[in-house]
Amino acid sequence: MFERMKGLYEVRVRDQDAKVGEVKVFLIPGNPGERSLMVDAGFGTRECYEKLKRELEKLGIACSQLDLFITHRHHDHTGMAGTFAKEGTRVFMNPKEDHHAYDCITQKRGEEAVREQEQVLRRVGITRRLEPGLWSKYKEVNQRLMKGQDWYFLTPDFPYEPVSQGQKFSYGDYHLEAVELKGHTYGQTGLLDREHKILFCADQVIDGINPIVPTSYPDEGLLKGYFQSLQWMKENLSDYTLLPAHREPITQVRRVIDRIVFSYLDKAELIKRLITCSRKPMTVKEVAYLAYGIQEDAEDDPDFISHKMMITKTFSCLEYLYGEEFIDREEKEGIFYWKAV
């Protein structure tokens, strides 16, 4: 733990399986007798829990006097949320994060998630008939969850109080405002301090990485919303410091955002060309394999995770192109097919 700014501490917790590697948790101790803040809850591991507890104790923060702000419902941000809630911590999250039980890197236990998964898989062109290998891999993961085993992208349930755009929070010398950051997830929410000119931006902007915009649900405009959010940052926060959950703080806001936007537009242009040149309508899976050079179906978990991400990133780009009327979309028996206008 070290003091990033006066009264603002940063704790880095690691994933022992090294699939994500490292995520940052931020702490702001409250004034005497007041509540304190923790931004996100790291991984769902004993090592993560013990490290966070040690750092809280060093700062004299009791769980009963702690507020936990969850930026978005991904496994590396929510891992200890339920555990801290049981110890008296008050948890906050945007309820828009619960609008789906299943997506690329969000999966809950239960029948609702399985039903949504089957709709999503069919939508992108993965069915038992069309893609038996990939279909079997998804079902294998579901069997693990049915047996009570863990899965890397399993998101735990925890009680929370709903957060809305513009909601105010104060801890120590920091006066924060909830800001919706649509893109990386549907309801990701950051915390903005206008006096200190900082934004806890979670996974919305990361230097050196293109944050994934993962969806397999139609007409939600996730990538377009992401572009709009990034444009707002460029126009209003160019002299701020962004504090992402991964890698280092960002001070060159415009440069980092321009790189991310260019990368997505470049991929969208490639996908548009693939659709335009195709002699027949294509499924999301078919487009993804061409756009990302995927040559084989997933045989193990790392490959499987990569496939899930590439397919949902492709879906986001296709939805964006469709919304801007660059390509067309048709549905047959629950499968989406994409074609030139």
* 133 and 165 belong to one structural domain: no
Residue 260 lies in a domain: no
Other CB atoms within 10 Å distance of the CB of residue 284: 24
Q: Are residues 208 and 74 in the same domain?
A: yes
Query: For residue 18, is pLDDT > 60?
Result: no
For residues 341 and 339, what is the distance between their CA atoms, to the nearest angstrom? 6
CATH number reported for the structural domain that contains residue 290 in this entry: 1.10.10.10
Same domain, 57 and 174: yes
CA-to-CA dists, residue 250 to 16, 99, 242, angstroms? 26, 30, 5
Q: Which residues pair with 67 in a beta bridge?
A: 37, 90
Residue 302: band (very low, low, confident or very high) from pLDDT cuts 50, 70, 90: low
Question: What is the rounded distance in angstroms from the CA atom of residue 184 to the CA atom of residue 311?
Answer: 15
- Does 140 share its domain with 49? no
Give the β-pairing of 36-39 and 66-69: parallel
pLDDT in tens, 69-101: 999 999 899 999 999 999 999 999 999 999 888
pLDDT tens figures, 231-275:
999 999 999 999 999 999 999 999 999 999 999 999 999 999 999
Give the domain range for residue 269: 265-340
Contact between 38 and 172 under an 8 Å Cβ cutoff? The reply is no
Overall average pLDDT of the 12-29 stretch: 83
* Mean pLDDT within 21-35: 95
Q: What is the pLDDT of residues 93-151, one digit of tens each?
A: 999 999 888 887 777 778 888 888 899 999 999 999 988 888 888 888 788 777 777 76
Quick check: is 65 in a domain?
yes
Instruction: Please indicate, yes or no, if residue 188 is contained in any of the structural domains.
Output: yes
Average pLDDT over residues 172-190: 97
**pLDDT over 80 (residue 341):** yes
Q: Are residues 212 and 301 in the same domain?
A: no
Query: Where residue 16 falls among pLDDT bands split at 50, 70, 90?
Result: low
Task: Answer yes or no: do 209 and 307 share one domain.
Answer: no
Q: How confident is the model at residue 305 (pLDDT cuts 50, 70, 90)?
A: confident
pLDDT at 17: 59
- Split at pLDDT 50, 70, 90, the class of 1 is very high
89 shares its domain with 19? yes
Is residue 198 one of the residues assigned to a domain? yes
The answer as to whether 259 is a domain residue is: no
Residues 37 and 90 occupy one common structural domain: yes
To the nearest 10°, report the CA torsion of 54, 56, 59, 60.
-100
Confidence of residue 152 (pLDDT cuts 50, 70, 90): low
Among residues 341, 111, 72, 318, which one has the least CA distance to residue 217?
Answer: 318
Across the chain, what does the average pLDDT equal? 92
Q: Could you tell me what percent of the chain has a pLDDT over 70?
A: 96
Q: How confident is the model at residue 21 (pLDDT cuts 50, 70, 90)?
A: confident
Q: Compute the distance between CA of residue 148 and CA of residue 145 in angstroms, rounded to an integer.
A: 5
Is 161 part of a structural domain of the chain? yes
196 assigned to some structural domain: yes
Q: Looking at the structure, do residues 112 and 90 belong to the same domain, yes or no?
A: no
165 in the same domain as 313: no
Q: What are phi and psi of 203, to 5 degrees?
A: -110, 20
CATH of the domain at 234: 3.60.15.10
Q: How many domains does the chain have?
A: 3
Q: Both 233 and 194 in a single domain?
A: yes
- Same domain flag for 61 and 135: no
Q: Is residue 38 part of a domain?
A: yes
